[in-house]
């Protein structure tokens, strides 16, 4: 979970599946974007672990983690990259990473299968961003400064979105079948209760509950309001490809004109710029 060095008490999963005449406990095939995210998180953990072994200071946490203290000290020149980079940084305790990646494997694979890779990534990053904003605002209101790290806000956004889209899908919790809607509701409720207990007692359990609840809220709204259809990555690629096609067409028309000129007037009739254009086109070809 996204942490101030601890995970909330979420359970490990026996498997994932869907409701139907025959419930299966077979592991799903990991989807492309989930695989990439798991790889990035794994590599980042190894790098952080190595850095921690060399220097046990919290420099990396304050650089890449979501640090309200750093934001306050550097305002308005705040480290904006932290609103996403924190979600790829986990504690040196491997269970922190493994729990998040296990949840991402099951529910991310389910959601990416429904939405496609681009839309899934948009939702994942949106949940991470929303969780970051909740943490910054929550810590500011409470006068706290604890940094947050971990993918839990993004992962809970994925879980809640999947639960909204497929509420009656069945997953296995310690080999017992549970409807996804009740699983997501229970996890979010536990997070909210633990946050309230901490606020009342004035003692932190070292878990970034604001991040979790912010990510969960984004996942809920994204699925309920249809934001999951957003595909800014796909639209950017379409515009990029359209621009490339347009440039190719313009180059082809110019090339045809120059070839006609060479045919009628000879190569010597070309200007220096026209010859340079031919060289550039020939290198591309």
DSSP string, 1-28: --BSS----PPP-SEE---SSS---PPP
| Residue 102 in domain | yes
| Residue 262 in domain | yes
List, in sequence order, the alpha helices (H) in 202-271: 209-225, 232-265
Tokens of 190: 């536990």
Average pLDDT over residues 77-84: 93
Please state, in angstroms and as integers, the Cα–Cα distance from residue 11 to each residue in 87, 109, 127, 264, following that order. 20, 18, 21, 78
Q: Return the higher-pLDDT residue of 154 and 239.
A: 154
Domain count, the chain: 2
- Whether 249 and 172 share a structural domain: no
Q: Has residue 211 got a pLDDT over 50?
A: yes
User: At 149, is the secondary structure helix, strand, or coil?
Assistant: strand
Average pLDDT over residues 107-123: 93
| Residue 5 in domain | no
Range of the domain at 257: 235-284
- Whether 200 and 94 share a structural domain: yes
Q: Which residues pair with 66 in a beta bridge?
A: 148
Average pLDDT over residues 200-210: 81
- Whether 143 and 174 share a structural domain: yes
User: At 259, is the secondary structure helix, strand, or coil?
Assistant: helix
- Whether 262 and 190 share a structural domain: no
Cα dihedral 177/12/152/159 (nearest 10): -10
Q: Return the higher-pLDDT residue of 19 and 183.
A: 183
Q: Under a CB-based contact definition with an 8 Å cutoff, are residues 17 and 26 in contact?
A: yes
Please, which pLDDT band fits residue 205 given cuts at 50, 70 and 90?
confident
Tokens of 96: 């922190």
Average pLDDT over residues 97-111: 95
Global confidence as pTM? 0.74
Q: Can you tell me the distance from the alpha carbon of 10 to that of 150, in angstroms, rounded to the nearest whole number?
A: 14
Write out the catalytic residue numbers. 152, 209
Q: What is the CA 208 to chain-centroid distance, rounded? A: 17
The CATH code of the domain that includes 208 is 1.20.1540.10
- Whether 185 and 260 share a structural domain: no
Which of 191, 212, 230 is at the close of a domain? Answer: 230
- Whether 97 and 186 share a structural domain: yes
Q: Return the higher-pLDDT residue of 128 and 206.
A: 128
What percent of the chain shows pLDDT beyond 70? Answer: 85
Nearest to 218 by CA among 264, 164, 169: 164
Q: Can you tell me the distance from the alpha carbon of 264 to that of 33, in angstroms, rounded to the nearest whole number?
A: 54
Which of 230, 248, 275 is at the close of a domain? Answer: 230
- Whether 50 and 32 share a structural domain: yes
| Residue 115 in domain | yes
First to last CA, the chain: 50
pLDDT digits (tens, 9 = 90+) for 256-276: 787 787 878 877 787 888 778
- Whether 224 and 242 share a structural domain: no
Q: Has residue 158 got a pLDDT over 70?
A: yes
- Whether 189 and 241 share a structural domain: no
- Whether 250 and 165 share a structural domain: no
Q: Is 266 left (phi over 0), alpha (psi -120 to 50) or beta?
A: left
Neighbours of 7 (CB within 10 A): 21
Q: Can you tell me the distance from the alpha carbon of 205 to that of 191, in angstroms, rounded to the nearest whole number?
A: 11
Q: Has residue 240 got a pLDDT over 90?
A: no
Continuous segment of H or E residues that includes residue 173: strand 170-173
Q: What are the phi and psi torsion angles at 220 (to 5°)?
A: -65, -50
| Residue 123 in domain | yes
Q: Can you tell me the distance from the alpha carbon of 186 to that of 158, in angstroms, rounded to the nearest whole number?
A: 15
- Whether 87 and 159 share a structural domain: yes
- Whether 146 and 185 share a structural domain: yes
| Residue 8 in domain | no
Q: Under a CB-based contact definition with an 8 Å cutoff, are residues 13 and 172 in contact?
A: yes
Please, which pLDDT band fits residue 142 given cuts at 50, 70 and 90?
confident
Place of tokens 């839990």: 152
| Residue 24 in domain | yes
Write down how long the chain is: 285
| Residue 165 in domain | yes
């Amino acid at each position: 979970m996204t942490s101030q060095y601890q995970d909330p008490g979420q359970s490990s999963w026996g498997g994932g599946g869907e409701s139907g005449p025959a419930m299966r406990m077979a592991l799903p095939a990991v989807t492309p974007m989930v695989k990439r995210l798991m790889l990035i998180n794994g590599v980042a953990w190894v790098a952080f672990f190595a850095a921690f072994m060399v220097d046990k200071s919290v420099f990396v946490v304050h650089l890449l983690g979501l640090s309200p203290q750093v934001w306050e000290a550097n305002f308005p020149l705040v480290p904006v990259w932290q609103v996403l980079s924190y979600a790829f940084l986990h504690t040196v305790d491997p269970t922190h990473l493994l729990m998040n990646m296990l949840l991402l494997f099951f529910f991310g694979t389910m959601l990416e299968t429904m939405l496609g890779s681009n839309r899934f990534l948009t939702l994942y990053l949106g949940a991470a961003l929303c969780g970051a904003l909740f943490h910054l605002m929550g810590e500011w209101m409470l006068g706290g400064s604890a940094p947050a790290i971990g993918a839990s806000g993004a992962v809970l956004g994925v879980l809640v979105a999947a639960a909204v889209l497929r509420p009656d899908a069945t997953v296995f919790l310690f080999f017992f079948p549970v409807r996804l809607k009740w699983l997501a509701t229970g996890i979010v409720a536990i997070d909210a209760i633990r946050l309230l207990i901490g606020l009342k007692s004035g003692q932190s359990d070292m878990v970034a509950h604001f991040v979790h609840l912010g990510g969960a809220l984004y996942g809920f709204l994204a699925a309920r309001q249809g934001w999951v259809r957003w595909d800014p990555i796909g639209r950017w690629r379409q515009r990029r490809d359209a621009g490339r096609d347009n440039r190719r067409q313009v180059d082809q028309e110019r090339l045809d004109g120059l070839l006609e000129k060479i045919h009628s007037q000879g190569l010597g009739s070309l200007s220096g710029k026209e010859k340079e254009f031919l060289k550039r086109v020939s290198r591309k070809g």
